[in-house]
Amino acid sequence: QVQLVESGGGSVQAGGSMRLACAASGYTYSNICMGWFRQRPGKEREGVAAVHIGGRFAYYANSVKGRFTISQDTAKNTLYLQMNSLKPEDTGMYYCAADLSSGGCSGLEAVLFGDWGQGTQVTVSS
């Protein structure tokens, strides 16, 4: 059974940093795409970053480029999102997701990802 468990959310002041982690289990953690999404208050769920597990290429939303970094630890089956220079508009529920079917990343559209974690809340205060 596929399981994705996020951790690391919380509250931080604007300009601060936070690192999210997503522990994956229940499937082979290689040659798949994993990503981070968020749902901000009153907005649709949006892609933040995605990476090909076992590869190097990563996608980022324009709104987070230069501030957020997605990374992976294949030995621990864990995906990370390092968030720096946080802004109040980064506040939202952050979700980890996996696309097991394509053998790589095709983009940041939520419909491409079939497995989701329960989410972790990130709150950035001004």
- Per-residue pLDDT tens, the chain, 126 aa: give them: 789 999 999 999 999 999 999 999 988 777 889 999 999 999 999 999 999 988 778 999 999 999 999 999 989 999 999 999 999 999 999 999 999 887 788 889 999 999 999 999 999 999
Cα torsion 93, 12, 64, 90 to 10°: value is 40
Selection from 86, 64, 81, 68 nearest residue 6 by Cα: 81
Distance, CA of 117 to CA of 1 (rounded, Å): 13
Q: Which residues make beta-bridge pairs with 51?
A: 34, 58
Cβ-contact 13, 125 below 8 angstroms: yes
Q: Note the pLDDT of residue 115.
A: 95
Q: Note the pLDDT of residue 33.
A: 93
List the structure tokens of 125.
């205060």
Residues in the chain: 126
Q: Are strands 120-125 and 10-13 parallel, antiparallel or unpaired?
A: parallel
Q: Note the pLDDT of residue 124.
A: 98
Selection from 7, 4, 19, 1 nearest residue 77 by Cα: 4
